[in-house]
A and B are shown apart, each in its own frame.
Chain A
Amino acid sequence: MTTNAAPIEVAGVSKWFGSVVAVNDASFQVFPGVTGLLGPNGAGKTTLLNMMCGLTRPSRGRVRVLGEDVAGNIGLYRRIGVMLEHDSLYPFMTGRDFVRLAAKLQGADRPELIDRAIEAVNLKDAQDRATGTYSRGMRQRIRLAASIVHDPQVLILDEPLNGTDPRQRVEFADFVSQLAEQGKTVLISSHILEEVESLADRILLVVSGKLAAAGNYRSIREKLDERPFHVRIGASRQREMAAALVKLDAIESVVLDGDAIEVLTHNLAELQRMAPVLAKEIDSRLYRIEPLDESLESVFSYVVQR
C-alpha cells in the first residue's frame, strides 16, 4: 500500500441478488479515523460492509482494503477486524474462550492480548461466564473484543451499538476515539443518526443502494443545497421584518409563528448575511437566527424521501 492510499477503497461497486440491486455503483474511500456508514435499514450498508469484509463478492467493481483486493484474500484478515450486525456467538463458550478462539485463529494467542481486548470492552468480571448467559450489550462487547484482539489496522463494525446502554455507548465512543488517535481506520455502520453523528469524523450516506453523500456532517448538509433550510428568526417588528425578508431572492417562504418568523431558504449564508442588514434598515432588533433542521435526522429523512 502506498502511503497516501486510503485503507479502504470502493470503486464502482454494484451488487445484485437476482433482480434486486442491493448496491448500485458505489465509489468512495475510507481514511484513517472514524467513518460512519449511515443509512436506513435496507439501504445496502450491510452488503457494502460484507463486500469490504470479503464475505460477499461484488457483482461489479472492486473493493480494496489496505491496498489489496479483499475477495479470496485470506491473509488480509490478519490486519482487519470484523464485527458483523447479527449478535451470533457460540453459547457454550465462555467470553474468554470466545476471544481466545479468535486470537488463535488470528495467530495472536497470547494471554496479554486476550486480557487487553477483554479489558478494553469492560468485561473482565464476566469473561468466565458462558456467553449464552450474556445480555445483548455484553454479547456485542465480547464480539468487539474478539474483533480487536489481534490489533487490526482496519476495523469494520456493523451496528456495533445495538443493545448497548447509554453508559456503554459513551465508553464505546471513547474506545473508538482512542483507536482513531492510534491511526487506525474504523468504519462503523448505523441507522441511528445520533450515534454516527457523535462517533464519526466523516460520514458516508447510503440510500437505496447508492452513495447519496460523503463528507463530514455539515459538508453533506451543504451538498444537499436544493433542500430548503428551515430557519427561525426572532426579531422585534415581526411583520415588517417578515415583509423585508420575503423580498430576498434566497427566501422561499416566510411564516409568522407566534413570537418568531419561520423562514424557508435555499441559501443560508445569504440569509445570515442579509438578515441583520434588513433588521437595521427597518429598525428591528434581531434576537436570534436559529436553524431548525441541522440534525442528521433531517438530512437523512430528506435524502430518503428524494
Chain B
Amino acid sequence: MIVPLFKLALRQAASPRRAVLLTLISLLPLGLAALIQTLGNPDGGDLIAGVLETLLIYVALPLVVMVLATSAFGNEVEDRTLSLLTTKPVPRWSIVLAKLAATIIVAAPVIAVVAAIVTLMDPDGSGKAAMAAVAGTLVGVVTYASAFMWAGLLTTRALGFALIYVLLWEVVITGFLQGARYLSVRSYAQGTMYGLDDTTFDDALAIDLSYALGGAAIVTAVFFLLSVRRLSRMDVP
C-alpha cells in the first residue's frame, strides 16, 4: 500500500521546477567554497566553519527541506488532491510516512553531497570528516522534514512560519540560550558531526552525540505522530 503512495509523493517532490530551485540553493555553499578556494588559500577549518557549519547548516539545509516538506501536504491541500488519498482505505500513518520518505529521499542526497564536497575541499577535510558531515546533515534533513511537514498540514502559510522559526529559534535564540540547543535541529546536526569527528569539527557549541541523535529521533517521532493525528482529524478540503 505504501509503495504507490511513496511513488506519488516522490513524483510530486521532484517536480522539475522545484529541482532547479533546490539545486540552486544547494549549490550556493558549494559555489562560495569554490570562490574562497580560488581567491585565496584558506586555512584549515575555514571552509568547514565558514561554509559548511554556517551557510549550509544554518541556511541551505533548512531552506531546502522547508521548500519540500511544507509543500508535501501543503500542495495537496492547496490543489485539493488530499481527499483523493484520504477517501481510500489507507492508514494515515502510511500517507505521512510516504511523504516524509519522499521528502528525505529528494533533499538528502543534494545536501549530503554538497556537505561532503565542501568538507573535502577544506585543508583539514578528510574522509572521516566528510562522513561525519554527511551524517550530520542527514540528521538535520530528517528532523526538519518531519517538523516542517507537520507545519504544512497545519497551515497554508507553513513556509513563512518555517522561515520565522529557523531565524528566531535556530539562529537567534539558540545562539543566546545555551540550554535551547537541546531543542535545536541545527545543534542535532552539528552534535552528530562533532560526535563522529571531534578533531575536525568545532566543539564549542556542540551537544553530545547521544543527545543529538536521541533528540533528533524524539523530535522526528513527535512531529510524525502529530502529522498522523492532524491528518486523521482535520477537515480535508
Binding site for B on A (CB under 8 A): 50, 53-57, 72, 74-78, 80, 82, 84, 86, 88-90, 92, 101-102, 104-107, 146
Q: Which residue of chain B has its CB nearest to the CB of A100?
A: B4
Query: What separation, in Å, do the CA atoms of A102 and B88 have in the docked complex?
Result: 8
A-chain residues with CB within 8 Å of residue B235 when the two chains form the complex: 50, 55-57
Instruction: Report the Cα distance A105→B7, complex, angstroms.
Output: 12
Does B18 sit within 8 A of A, measured CB to CB? no
Give chain A nearest CB distance to B156 CB in angstroms.
Answer: 16
B17 at interface (Cβ–Cβ under 8 A)?
no
> Is B155 an interface position by the 8 A CB rule?
no
> Is the interface on chain B under 10, 10 to 19, 20 to 34, or 35 or more residues?
20 to 34
The 8 closest A-B pairs by CB, nearest first: A105-B88, A82-B87, A55-B236, A77-B89, A88-B80, A86-B80, A104-B4, A56-B235
**Contact present for B83 and A55 (CB under 8 Å):** yes
State how many angstroms separate the Cβ of B2 from the closest Cβ of chain A.
10
B residues neighboring A (CB under 8 Å) = 1, 4-5, 8, 11-12, 79-81, 83-92, 232-233, 235-236
Task: List, in ascending order, chain A residues with CB within 8 A of B11's CB.
Answer: 90, 92
CA distance A54 to B89 in the complex (A): 12
Counting residue pairs across A and B whose Cβ atoms lie within 8 Å, the total is: 63
Q: How far is the CB of B227 from chain A (nearest CB, A)?
A: 16
B87 smallest CB distance to A (angstroms): 4
A-side contacts of B79, CB under 8 Å = 88
Expressed in whole angstroms, the Cα–Cα distance for A86 and B83 within the complex equals 10
Cα distance A48–B128 in the bound complex, in angstroms: 60
Chain A residues with CB under 8 Å of B80's CB are 84, 86, 88
Minimal Cβ-Cβ distance residue in A for B232? A72
Q: List 19 A-B contacts (CB under 8 A).
A: A53-B87, A55-B83, A55-B87, A56-B235, A57-B233, A74-B89, A77-B89, A86-B80, A88-B80, A88-B81, A88-B84, A90-B12, A90-B81, A101-B4, A102-B84, A104-B1, A105-B85, A105-B90, A146-B84
Contact (Cβ within 8 A) B1 A105: yes
Residue in B closest to A82 when the chains form the complex, CB atoms? B87
> How far apart are A105's CB and chain B's nearest CB, in angstroms?
4
